[in-house]
């Protein structure tokens, strides 16, 4: 079974998770890894039985390019992981997981979904503090800033959790 880990990363959080998963599983599975931005022709996916797709969260779901990419995947075993600037165990994190479960086309077999910590881009935090969007209610803005200030990069615990989670998922389809 050939597996491709594909990731979309804005600030490096998702890339760190993708390479952590790859390093942890490469001796056990036939794996390759690729930045989503480098995949121009989706026919490359035909060479793989299973896709592990990682992305960063934007507005409660996959960032727009990742969402579009995932919608174009058909007839595959697929696992999804994401990095989030809020606490993954928070209500928002649980809502994100629900949204992630709806991303893949129904022709795919969704084998696993995981969400991990991600450090919010400091430039975004500064922008929210100095030039907040006018349409955003103040309580929500304050919650976003507070959550962003508490955010952190994925750590070894996150990576190890992902390795265990996705190893079990890959065993299901091996």
**Helix, strand, coil abundance in the chain, percent, nearest 5:** 45, 25, 30
Task: Find out whether 17 and 81 touch, Cβ atoms under 8 Å.
Answer: yes
Task: Find out whether 52 and 166 touch, Cβ atoms under 8 Å.
Answer: yes
Mean pLDDT of the region 118-141: 90
| Rounded distance between C-alpha atoms, residue 163 and residue 20, angstroms | 8
Mean pLDDT of the region 89-105: 95
Residue-wise pLDDT tens digits, 10-22 = 999 999 999 999 9
Task: Check pLDDT > 90 for residue 74.
Answer: yes
| Reported confidence tier of residue 132, pLDDT bands at 50, 70, 90 | confident
The pTM of the full predicted model, rounded to 2 decimals, is 0.93
| Rounded distance between C-alpha atoms, residue 27 and residue 78, angstroms | 20
Q: Please give the helix or strand (H or E) that residue 28 lies within, else none.
A: none
String of b and e for 42-66 (b: at least 16 CB within 10 Å)?
eeebeebebbbbbbbbbeebbbeeb
More confident residue, 58 or 1: 58
- Residue closest to 60 by CA, chosen among 122, 142, 147, 129: 147
More confident residue, 63 or 147: 63
Task: Check pLDDT > 90 for residue 126.
Answer: yes
Residue-wise pLDDT tens digits, 2-57 = 999 999 999 999 999 999 999 999 999 999 999 999 999 999 999 999 999 999 99
Task: Check pLDDT > 90 for residue 114.
Answer: yes
């Amino acid at each position: 079974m050939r597996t491709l880990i594909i990731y979309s990363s804005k600030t490096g959080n998702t890339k760190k998770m993708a390479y952590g998963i790859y390093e942890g599983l490469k001796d056990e599975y036939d794996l390759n890894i690729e930045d989503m931005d480098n995949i121009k022709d989706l026919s490359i996916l035909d060479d793989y039985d299973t896709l592990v797709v990682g992305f960063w969260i934007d507005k409660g779901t996959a960032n727009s390019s990742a969402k579009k990419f995932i919608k174009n995947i058909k007839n595959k075993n697929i696992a999804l992981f994401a990095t989030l600037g809020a606490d993954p165990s928070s209500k928002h994190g649980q809502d994100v997981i629900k949204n992630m479960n709806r991303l893949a086309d129904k022709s795919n077999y969704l084998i696993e979904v995981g969400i991990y910590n991600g450090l919010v881009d400091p430039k975004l935090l500064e922008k929210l503090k100095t030039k907040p969007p006018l349409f955003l209610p103040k309580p929500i803005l304050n919650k976003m800033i507070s959550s962003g200030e508490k955010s952190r990069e994925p750590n070894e615990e996150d990576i190890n959790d992902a390795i265990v989670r996705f190893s079990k998922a890959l065993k299901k389809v091996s």
